[in-house]
A and B are shown apart, each in its own frame.
Chain A
């Protein structure tokens, strides 16, 4: 089932007669295009033009509060953003959150995937409950974490030395953001990994256990290697998702103490500063970075088309 969806041969095409091949093929081609057309048009129109427009905006000085000063200034905005310590700070924070949270999620997600897949009691219940962090509105959960870590109202701050307010310090706040991200998105990682787990043939595992391999050895030598495509696909999706982090940081700190992510700093410059030029420049830079990360995963690490897409 884990076929390369980019290869057309692998999809079983059923229910088609072996009639005059070319006529049938042509009508099938047309039907295929017609059916895909609406979706393709919507996706291209809603993202394609805005991205082009974004690039155009990034080449202008365009501040909504100074409509008279609008002008074309070439790459000046890029120079401004790329030489700004605020931007690189946000970039570093985003990278830190991405790397740490994805690494932890991989391990934790694998554990939960194993539990969801192999538990012998209450399987339905466990799977259903694990889906709750996936389904809960991110902002709702973020407020829960915010109040849990606020001195006075929170039950978690009681575990810390008195008077400490972790959300108002740079590194503790980032730690809390990472925790919130991990809690929310590990279930999705677990689901993607469970898909990979299901593809490991039982016979191979049985044979290995009969040969005396321990559970740990079976896991390391058989399960993991066979899961590699699923792991890479899961990593790709989660890394890109983590890089785009916004909701959690917005609610927990709103970027105070330099804890902004790249998405949040772009938002502050766009909506707070009404500076469309700078905001667009950041948007384009973020887009390029995301494309780079995807490129690295697909070409360098050899990730094949993953099976499920998610925002």
Chain B
């Protein structure tokens, strides 16, 4: 494509517009989180008085810290399990031929389209009777289920990209099947698995409905739900600053992931059509 000076300028302007679109709301939340609570009523975009008070406040709040722990722990467990069983299914879908393959894919699609609220009602009652209400397993189960479709689809995309013939070539060169797998396949598959793990983790991290419905205390409540239950520090003060600070705290890890793994994430979500 011609890189004329005019072309570069035009595209730069367009890029800038897209960047503003994506970033202005995020910068607004960040700015709110640094505003001194007494200046909220001024309604300016940038803080007139900067303070770390809001951040100090939320880390003093045991509920929020515990909520972060829950988010991280539940997210990790759900992701690991979803990746484990999703990898097996994705391998079968990408490499093997068996009747029932369309069924598996159809089932994944079905789950991806499933309205979560339809699951909340029965799960609320089932978990209540089984004693799973307000526990980690109570959230992990639905999280795994909703992470699986994305996992299976993205991983099968990545697996289709792998040149499996290399494994055959390594075996013909004298490697044992295990060596071939470990030294050839694993390095090729790892980037795809890592990317899919990140996408699955984002799905779990982002969840709100299950967390507010199936938990009732900081024992299992994740961070997004905890934020919505913040109270102000006094009878007359709104929790605006705390909520903004907490919102930034739970956004940072995702932003970091996305920026570092951008190329692979785009490849995964576009089924490999766009490689970077």
Contacts and interface: CB of A to CB of B under 8 A. Distances in A.
**Contact, chains A and B (beta carbon distance below 8 A):** yes
A257 B272 CA distance: 45
A36 B104 contact: yes
B96 interface: yes
B15 interface: yes
B121 interface: yes
A143 B254 contact: no
Interface stretch (B4-12, B50-58, B62-70): B4-12
Contacts of A282: 117, 121
A250 B208 contact: yes
Contact of B96 (A13, A144, A250): A13
B153 interface: yes
Contacts of B248: 140
Given A31-B92, A122-B15, A135 B271 contact: no
Nearest to B89: A39
Interface string B145-173: 11111101110010010001101100000
Given A129-B19, A131-B258, A155-B43, A8 B29 contact: no
A309 interface: yes
Nearest to B166: A15
Given A42-B85, A251-B228, A115 B109 contact: no
Contact of A141 (B25, B43, B95): B25
Contact of A38 (B1, B88, B168): B88
Q: SS class of chain A's interface: helix, strand, loop or mixed?
A: helix
Nearest to B103: A40
* B95, B120, B167, B270: most-surrounded residue (chain A CB, <10 A): B270
A309 B15 contact: no
Interface residues of A, number: 113
A86 B214 CA distance: 25
A43 B108 contact: yes
A2 B273 CA distance: 9
* A32, A276, A283, A307: most-surrounded residue (chain B CB, <10 A): A32
A246 B209 contact: yes
A90 to B, nearest CB: 12
Contacts, number: 362
A126 B95 CA distance: 34
A160 to B, nearest CB: 12
A19 B94 CA distance: 21
A93 to B, nearest CB: 15
How many B residues are at the interface, by size bracket? 35 or more
A29 interface: yes
B181 to A, nearest CB: 12
Contacts of B121: 50, 54, 57, 266, 270, 276, 279-280, 282-283
A148 interface: yes
Contacts of B160: 11-12
A155 B258 contact: no
B244 A143 contact: yes
B113 A28 contact: no
B152 A39 contact: yes
Contacts of B203: 310-311
A122 B268 CA distance: 20
B243 to A, nearest CB: 5
Interface string B206-249: 10110011000000000110011000000000001001101110
A282 B119 CA distance: 11
B112 A309 contact: yes
A137 B149 contact: no
Contacts of B263: 124, 127
B18 A130 contact: yes
Contact of B208 (A39, A240, A246): A246
Contacts of A290: 113-115
B26 A247 contact: no
A8 B254 CA distance: 36
Contacts of A258: none
Contacts of A28: 96-98
A153 interface: yes
A53 interface: yes
A21 to B, nearest CB: 11
A270 B96 contact: no
Closest 4 A/B residue pairs (Cβ): A32-B98, A140-B247, A307-B271, A195-B270
9 contacts: A8-B97, A11-B94, A28-B97, A32-B96, A136-B255, A147-B28, A195-B270, A284-B118, A308-B157
Interface of A: 1-2, 5-8, 11-15, 25, 28-29, 31-33, 35-36, 38-40, 42-44, 46-47, 49-51, 53-54, 57, 112, 115-122, 124-141, 143-145, 147-148, 151-155, 157-158, 183, 187-188, 191-192, 194-196, 198-199, 237, 240, 243-244, 246-247, 250-251, 262-263, 266-267, 270-271, 276, 279-280, 282-284, 286-287, 290, 294, 305-311
Given A128-B259, A250-B228, 5 more contacts: A39-B104, A53-B126, A125-B15, A147-B244, A187-B22
Interface of B: 1, 3, 7-8, 11-12, 14-15, 18-19, 21-23, 25-26, 28-29, 32, 40-41, 43-45, 85-86, 88-89, 91-109, 111-126, 141-142, 144-150, 152-154, 157, 160, 164-165, 167-168, 202-203, 205-206, 208-209, 212-213, 223-224, 227-228, 240, 243-244, 246-248, 250-251, 254-255, 257-259, 262-263, 265-266, 268-274, 276
